[in-house]
Structure formats: C-alpha cells, structure tokens
A and B are shown apart, each in its own frame.
Chain A
C-alpha cells in the first residue's frame, strides 16, 4: 500500500476510535422520529419532507465533521507532536497531507453512505416503496460529498499555517461566502464604485462556489438532474481541491516542526 493510503487508513481509524461515527446514532434517531411523525401528519408531501430533512441533516453533520476534524488534521498532530516520529521516516510531507485528506474523506464517505441508507429506509417506511425517481437523492448526496471534500481541503489548508480557531473561522467564512457567489457576481448598483464591482466579480470566481452543489429541491421533488451538471460539479470540485491541496502542500513543506 502506498504511504498516502497508510496515513489515510490510520486517519480513518482515529476517527472511528474517537467515536466520531456515533453521530450516526443521532441521525438515525432523527430520521426515525421524523418518519413516524410525518407519516401521521402529512398527506402527499412525505417524500419532500423526509428527503429535505435527511439531506439537510447529512449536509450539516458532514459540514461540522469536515470543519472541526479537518482543522485538527495537521494542527492536532503538531500540538501533540505525534507527527515528529512520522516525518523522520521516509514519508514526504505531501504524502502525509494527502493521506490525512484521504482519511477524512473516507470517514465522511462512510458516514454519508450510512446516513444515505438511513434516509432511504425512512423513505421506504413512509412510502412503502422506492421508485427510480428517488435515485435523484443519491445525486444530491454525491454533491454533498463533493462539497465536503472542498471544505476538508480548505480546512486542511488553513490548519497548515494558522491556529485551529482561526482555521475554523476562515473555513466557515469561506463556506458562507461560497453560498452567495452568484449574488456577488450579479451585484449591480449605481451607487457602488465600478472598481468594487469589478473586484466582487473577480472575487466571485475565486471563491469556492458552493451554490452549484445544492440540488436539494430537485431531489425532494424527484426532478431529473442533468448529467452535464454532475460532470461539471465533479470537475470543479476535483480542480478546486487540487489547487487548494497544492497550496497546503507548498506551505506545509516549508514549515518547521518546532
């Protein structure tokens, strides 16, 4: 196995042993309760409520994990000095960083997959069947995973050169800003200086665009999601992650382990 894989599996093992996956119990309870309640009070909109609730929970839980575990991937190892012995071995710093990134992504994928299974179980409970159109929720879940990969990459980048608290603030700030990229791009006002408008437009292209990953409404209503959007989002997330991780590697490779 490559060293990246070895580090990734150890990162996953850490998450499991730190009982990170316990959040699944909370998610399961939430969906079970929702399914029971919705099944009794709503007529015809069970699917919309369950899918919306399930996808929101998957997204929020995933984001919390991506940000809080993500910023600790490097800083925790530096604070506790656990990476001193590791970096003195024949492991390159980029291998370590990619391993940490891959490990958390693996944790998030398994976590999300388990929650997705829970979502479909709840859907089956209220509808007594699963149709082909319900598969759209899987695309929405895939988009959530792409979004989480981006957030982990950002958290990792910030944790390479600043404190965990600031890294959380920067990552959270960028995530929120990334939800309003289209608004920023289309912002026109007579009172706003042209230079600021140009700057905002430029900024909207640099910031991670998280709006494109939100297809929750389509998923809830079982509407088709074009293959082009899937391909575009996949390519965008891959490219953005690659750029952010390259920056993280550049910073981390020059960092002294004091």
Chain B
C-alpha cells in the first residue's frame, strides 16, 4: 500500500504560559490522522480549535510536545522534507520593502534554483496568481488579498508535492476566493496533495475529498464532507407560495400556522416522514411548491454543538471534582 502523504500520530502540543512559563495550555491533543497522496483534505474547525497549531507543527515552525508526524515518509524534523512542501501562513505578511517579483526570486534562491529558472518560475507564478502587472510594486502597497496571492505563489513556486495552506480564502473577495479555489483544483489535477484549513463549509464541500473536523484541540471526525456534516440532517424545508384568495381557506389555515411568511412566500420545517402528506395538503390548499430541501446543520451549528458538548463535559468534571 502506498504511504500516506501526511501522517500524524498522537500529535500533541502544549504552550507554556504565565510567570516563568510554568503553566501549560494544551492546544492540540493526540491528533492521529493521515492525508492520502493526491488528496485535497480540508481541516475544519472554529477559531482556536487547533487547526493552525497542527499546520505549524507540520510546517516545522513549532515542535510537538508529544507524538510525531511524517510528510512523504520523512519525519517533520528532517529539513529535506521542506523541499517537497509548500506552506502558506495564515494572514501572510512578507518583507514589505521587496516587490512581489523580488520576494519570489528570494524564495527561489532559497530553493537553489539557477538564475534563468528563477526568472521563468517567478514569471509563471505571478501570472498564475494574477499579479503580473503588480510585480514591480513594493509589498507594503499591496492589499490583503494581493498579499494572500503572493503567499500562494511562494507556496507553490518550487512545485511541491504537498501544499499546506492555512486559511487560504481568508481576507479575499468572492473573485479572489474563486481564483484560490481554481488554483487548489489545479493542484489536485496535477496530482499534488493539498491540506488546507478553513471554517467555511462551502469551500470544503466544493474542494475536498475528505475533511477532518477539529474542536478544542481534538480531532472529532474524518470523512467526506457530506458524511461529517451531512449526518446532522434534521428534517426538511418546504418553500411555497399561496395566492392571497386562498390564505383564508380552512384547509390552508392549519398549514400556515406551522409556516413562517416572507412576502407571499412561506417556509415550513417538517420531519422527513411527513413530506408527502404535507405536500398533498399544500396541493389541496392551492399552494405552489417552490422547493423541498433537506435541512442540514450549518457548520456553525455543528461547531457550536461540539463546543457546547465540550463545555458540558468540562462542567461535569468540575462538579465531579468538587
């Protein structure tokens, strides 16, 4: 069996704090997961869940308190592993006295590319992220979205096999987000492995083969986006219109009491088993059905559920301890 592109085993990170750093806060606890070769893997979780901690551990910026991880079979402590990974930090910031072309050339030198190849790569990357016309402008004059694009360009400048992106859509306008999505899809098409963190479900649904949900420093589940969040489906929603002359009909009034109104449109939440009988009743009342949708918990609700469960557990421990 082929080795996973990214493999983490019992990865744990404590951050010291307080006077003399004697206290410790656990940011990541026993993370065990793997990302397969050529897969786009989304790391989902609310702020402070441990996404960036995991990514920084993989990128070698921080060191694990316990556990270990391997990328392309090499331990994350092995410097040669960095030759094959591309990393975009969260809210990236670069040397603002450099232009985009100079920054990319600097990183290309770090990767030991020869001058001719550096020029070719820098040109290609700037074109790819849509910054060819801004190549000679110093980065201090760049907008947040433009910096994000430069960040993406430096992450893929050396054709890495594994690309790790920390909140790549953050700070981008809808057009910018679409461009980043296209780049990720292109990387997938090229056979590269992509791991990116986000708290936006639609991005994950659109791009990821699998997602991992993390909250409170613990991995809560790994699977296809639908499996992870879709299992939280809770009922159906029917959207319909009812002409004014039919609203007062006795057959309609019982139904309307369960619906919420916006203009002449009504929205009704029901159990999945009641869909067909309700549709019959609406048809008889003269309603025009606009849509029937399965209701899924939003990612926010899903996260809130996880966080609430954590708090409840923590309170229970407190009470038990007292």
Contacts and interface: CB of A to CB of B under 8 A. Distances in A.
Q: Do A and B come from one complex?
A: yes
Interface of A: 1, 3, 6-7, 10, 13-14, 17-18, 80-82, 84-92, 254, 256-258
Contacts of A81: 89, 91-93
A69 to B, nearest CB: 14
Contacts of A90: 79-80, 82-83, 110-111
A86 B79 CA distance: 13
Interface centre among B109, B111, B154 (most CB of A within 10 A): B109
A26 B216 CA distance: 56
A172 B56 CA distance: 34
23 contacts: A6-B110, A13-B97, A14-B97, A18-B97, A81-B91, A84-B61, A84-B87, A84-B89, A85-B87, A85-B107, A85-B155, A86-B107, A87-B60, A88-B61, A88-B87, A89-B110, A89-B111, A90-B79, A90-B82, A90-B110, A257-B56, A258-B15, A258-B62
Given A80-B93, A256-B63, A88 B82 contact: yes
Contacts of B92: 81, 84-85
B59 interface: yes
Contacts of A91: 82, 110
B82 A89 contact: yes
Interface string B57-73: 00111110000000000
Nearest to A14: B97
Interface of B: 15, 56, 59-63, 79-80, 82-83, 85, 87-89, 91-95, 97-98, 106-107, 109-111, 151, 154-155, 164
Given A13-B97, A92-B79, 14 more contacts: A14-B95, A17-B97, A80-B93, A81-B93, A82-B93, A84-B61, A85-B88, A85-B94, A86-B110, A88-B60, A88-B164, A89-B82, A90-B79, A91-B110
B151 A85 contact: yes
Given A89-B110, A258-B15, A82 B95 contact: yes
A258 B28 CA distance: 13
B62 A256 contact: yes
Contacts of B155: 85
B15 A1 contact: no
Nearest to B61: A257
Contacts of B15: 256, 258
Nearest to B94: A82
Interface centre among A6, A84, A88 (most CB of B within 10 A): A88
A6 B112 CA distance: 10
B18 to A, nearest CB: 15
A7 B15 CA distance: 29
Contacts of A257: 56, 61-62
A16 to B, nearest CB: 9
A257 B154 CA distance: 19
A37 to B, nearest CB: 38
Given A81-B89, A257-B56, A6 B109 contact: yes
A87 B61 contact: yes
A258 B61 CA distance: 8
A183 B90 CA distance: 53
A257 B94 CA distance: 15
Nearest to B82: A90
Contacts of B111: 89-90
B95 A10 contact: yes
B102 to A, nearest CB: 8
The 3 closest A-B pairs by CB, nearest first: A88-B87, A257-B61, A256-B62
Contacts of B106: 6, 10
